[in-house]
Chains A and B, each alone.
With several copies, the nearest count.
Chain A
Amino acid sequence: MEITKEIQRLMLERMWTIRNFEEKVIEVHEAGEFVGPAHPYIGEEAVAVGVCLALKDSDYIAGNHRSHGHPLAKGGSIKKAMAEIYGRVDGYCKGKGGSMHLADFSVGILGESGIVGSSVPVATGAGLASKMRKKDFVSVVFFGDGASNQGACHESMNLASIWKLPVIFVCENNQYAITNSYENSVAVDNVSDRAVAYNMPGILVDGQNVEAMYEATAEAVKRARNGEGPTLIEGLTYRFEEHSLGLGKIRRGEYRDKAEIDKWRERDPLDIHTKKLIERGILSESDCKKIENDSKVEIEEAVNFARNSEFPGPEDLFEGMWANPIPKP
């Protein structure tokens, strides 16, 4: 499959956006600038970026608690994402959602779910609507290896298959659910092997290779738009940081070998892609450096935007509860 130069470049840009965003979130969290959990996506950037660049704006995505990478990959506003994490009125969700619940409906992001596995049925339903309304949008849901053991995944994959829905199930297999390893929790070698149980293709992809993720997704999107039904894509990846901010300090290293972490850090998705772009002569080393730096500037702007945004006030408390409001009980 031919990937245009433009997209190859965009891949690097979006991955840097996520990487720098996450580094910044870690930094300002340590500085105490916001309260609440957050789950860094560092190391896994190629998965969301590869998938989302194979989508149109009119396609939908839904995600999980490891929640910053998906909307940023889909082209959601960086400023609003940061403001949301800061709990401010200019955030995606006006400060109501926070890190685990980023959502930008304006660009097809149906939202991240803090309850593991819980957005899988929802995304399946968006696919159902696509079919019913005879639209050609597809619906993608990101979930982890841990989530794959939730009943919700089973039920949704079966539904999507029998109804031939344009849904793409993307398992981000980073091989751990907090401290519990893949081997201790999933009974099958690869999550994608489970696709046979639903009579759909199951594709195992190197999740550090953004182009491979893109290609697998593009293929699945084609099938979906052709009415051929769902696909399960497993991106094999690794989180470079701890499960969540805060937890990091307590648990670092106690369940993962340093050697394993080092091995995976050598397969940094940004390095891998940068090298390819330079080798192919698409970008020079300094072009790449510029992308990295421009992104840092953009993130800095986002932080400033967030810092300058207001906290929601008492008058905002009940805002957004109901579409057709009811009296306070």
Chain B
Amino acid sequence: MTEKIFADAINEAIAEEMRRDPNVFIMGEDIRLSIYGATKNLYKEFGEERVLDTPLSENGFFGAAIGASLVGMRPIVETVTSFMWVAMDQLISQAAKMRYMFGGQATLPVVYRASMAYGSGSAAHHSDRNYPMFMNMPGIKIAVPATSADAKGLLKTAVRDDDPVIIFEDTNLMGTRGDVTDDEIPFGKAVIIKEGSDCTIVGIAGSVKLALDAANNLEKEGISCEVINPRTLVPLDKQSILSSVEKTGRLVIADPAHKVCSAASEISSIVAEEGFWFLQSPIIKVASEQVHIPYAQSLEKLVYPNVDKISTAVKKTME
């Protein structure tokens, strides 16, 4: 167990996987000089053949990664959520659909690392938190690391998994610290990061920490929250969430995505169907306002879940 900042945990996972398996390589824009911070020193260690700086052709190189994965490579692609729009065809028509469409013949061990750079004035074009869209379309596994340990362990699992995976990396976490281990973290296993009895809070990516902070504050007011980090959204460990709600009877979901058709919507709908009889009060979604991300900090801060909004929601479930 060593303490690492989130970005370095990612870096370490990539380096370890590249050392372990010569078929693993990484491609993306400006990764040799690591302008997004997680690919430091890889070029030095692995050279130009395994660390590819790509032209600005996301549809082209996202697809090239798919093709390479089909015939034996295990590519890691670095990108930003907002650059996925230009490459949606390769992500959806090929990465997500190909295996099934070909009756299971195709195996595509490709990993996309997409950073979600919201919260610091990047405005509407650079602040997407678009994992709910990929949840809607079957075929891609989705990881949402919330800690350094998640960042490292989920990435290692992703590289070894034979299915396409997108890891949504919350840049608000990039500088946070936490213990990491060398182990893979299994997909589809949520982790209860704080136990409690009054209300369950499911947090997603950067909202896990907000949920924990809210829970810690509420504890002082005598409200006991259980905080769950699902770690992956596909597969989603719905059992852990249902069991927690069975215990607490209440549910708040904190999700940085836009609130309509969000991960929060999905989790709410699962509990409204399968955990209905456990519920003692309405399920509350604390997700981003249904508006684009404004540039001005005075506005941007109003959009996302925060500790206050989560605490208020929990209290509302207790009324």
Contact flag (A, B; Cβ within 8 A): yes
- Please list the residues of chain A having a beta carbon within 8 angstroms of any beta carbon in chain B: 34-37, 60, 62, 84, 87-88, 91-101, 103-105, 110-111, 113-130, 132-133, 137, 139, 146-147, 149-152, 154-156, 158-159, 162, 177-180, 184-186, 247, 250-251, 254-255, 311-314, 316-324, 326-329
Given A125-B66, A320-B104, also A162-B55 (CB < 8 A): yes
Of the listed stretches B218-226, B246-254, B289-297, chain A binds B289-297
A195–chain B nearest beta-carbon distance, Å: 17
Within 8 A of A (CB), among B70-119: 70-73, 82-83, 85-86, 89-90, 93-94, 98-109
| Contact status A92-B59, CB under 8 Å | no
CA distance A154 to B58 in the complex (A): 12
Listed by A's residue number, 6 A-B pairs whose Cβ atoms lie within 8 Å are A36-B121, A116-B56, A152-B60, A178-B30, A185-B54, A321-B138
A132–chain B nearest beta-carbon distance, Å: 6
- Chain B contacts for A137, CB-based, 8 A: 71
- Chain A contacts for B138, CB-based, 8 A: 321
B63 within 8 A of A: yes
| Contact status B57-A177, CB under 8 Å | no
- Chain B contacts for A91, CB-based, 8 A: 103
Q: Give the number of residues in B that approach A within 8 Å (Cβ atoms).
A: 82
- Chain A contacts for B83, CB-based, 8 A: 115
B123 within 8 A of A: yes
Interface centre among A96, A151, A311 (most CB of B within 10 A): A96
| Contact status B295-A97, CB under 8 Å | yes
- Chain B contacts for A149, CB-based, 8 A: 55-57, 60
- Chain A contacts for B59, CB-based, 8 A: 121, 151-152, 155
Interface centre among A92, A129, A130, A152 (most CB of B within 10 A): A129
B120 within 8 A of A: yes
CA distance A173 to B89 in the complex (A): 23
Minimal Cβ-Cβ distance residue in B for A150: B56
A interface footprint on B118-158 (CB within 8 Å = 1, 0 otherwise): 00111111100000000000110100000000000000000
- Which of B62, B120, B123, B298 sits near A121, CB closer than 8 Å? B62
| Contact status B35-A115, CB under 8 Å | no
| Contact status B69-A114, CB under 8 Å | no
| Contact status A121-B295, CB under 8 Å | no
- Chain A contacts for B124, CB-based, 8 A: 96-97, 101, 114
Of the listed stretches B9-17, B202-210, B234-242, chain A binds B234-242
- Chain A contacts for B213, CB-based, 8 A: none
- Chain B contacts for A150, CB-based, 8 A: 56-57, 86
